Chain A
Amino acid sequence: GIQVEQSPPDLILQEGANSTLRCNFSDSVNNLQWFHQNPWGQLINLFYIPSGTKQNGRLSATTVATERYSLLYISSSQTTDSGVYFCAVEDAGGTSYGKLTFGQGTILTVHP
């Protein structure tokens, strides 16, 4: 099946810093989403972005489908940005249609 690799695995920032999280995937995708898992465990949908660029406040994401990667940018980070960021993709081929495969996540810690 499709492989999803996220980097870095851990990231520690001071409040106000910017960061870039990366998601590499091994095959063509129909669907790519970024999620934030808060300290209580709930996953919040950040972006649905199979291709192109989107922005939402301090967060933006870019997916370059032809090169099989996606980037999540966080600007002016805040302590509330802490948590785990997951990338999830849907393989464009075969029997995985409609099902998301998750990466291992990037653990972000923002210090005041």
Chain B
Amino acid sequence: DGGITQSPKYLFRKEGQNVTLSCEQNLNHDAMYWYRQDPGQGLRLIYYSQIVNDFQKGDIAEGYSVSREKKESFPLTVTSAQKNPTAFYLCASSRDFYAGELFFGEGSRLTVL
């Protein structure tokens, strides 16, 4: 089945450690996105990629980094510079950046101890 796979679903890390969240899609979509959701809040855009080997900062990029070396993959690294990393992270994709419909993975819940 086509879809978006995020891993891990749950992750615990100690303060000061970097952690990388995986996002893989087999929908042949050009555009991919990372969002952050805090309890009781809407989603905020961290980074997005319109096409392979290209990515742009979203509204809350500080403390995060991404890469887009393959069309199918858009990993997100939460660095130690991110002051409040505990959150629910959602990866999404769309056919292309201007195509409209957004599809989401199941999310990764990160807890910093």
**When chains A and B are docked, how far (Å) is the Cα of A48 from the Cα of B100?**
7
The answer to whether A41 touches B100 (Cβ under 8 A) is no
Task: Number of B interface residues at 8 Å Cβ cutoff, please give it.
Answer: 26
Q: Is A99 an interface residue (CB 8 A)?
A: yes
A98 touching B42 in the complex, CB below 8 Å, given contacts A40-B106, A41-B106, A45-B103: no
Are the C-beta atoms of B42 and A104 separated by less than 8 Å? yes
Find chain A residues with CB under 8 A from B40 CB. 104
Cβ–Cβ contact B42 & A42, under 8 A: no
| B49 CB to nearest A CB, Å | 11
B106-A102 in contact (CB<8A): no
Say yes or no: B45 contacts A99, CB within 8 Å: yes
Whether, in the assembled complex, B112 has its beta carbon less than 8 Å from a beta carbon of chain A, the answer is no
Per the bound structure, the CA–CA distance linking A4 and B44 in Å amounts to 13
Return chain A residues, CB-CB under 8 Å to B102.
33, 45, 88, 100
| A102-B103 contact, Cβ under 8 Å, with A41-B88, A41-B109, A43-B90 | no
Bound CA span A8–B101, Å: 25
* Contact of A105 with B107 in the complex, beta carbons under 8 Å: no
B31-53 residues with Cβ-Cβ distance < 8 A to A are: 31, 35, 37, 40-45, 48, 50
| Residue of chain A at shortest CB distance from B96 | A98
- Asked if B97 is an interface residue, CB under 8 A from chain A, the answer is yes
Residues from chain A with Cβ under 8 Å of B105 in the complex: 42
Does B63 belong to the interface (CB within 8 Å)?
no
What residues of chain B have their CB less than 8 Å away from a CB belonging to chain A?
31, 35, 37, 40-45, 48, 50, 58, 88, 90, 92, 97-98, 100-107, 109
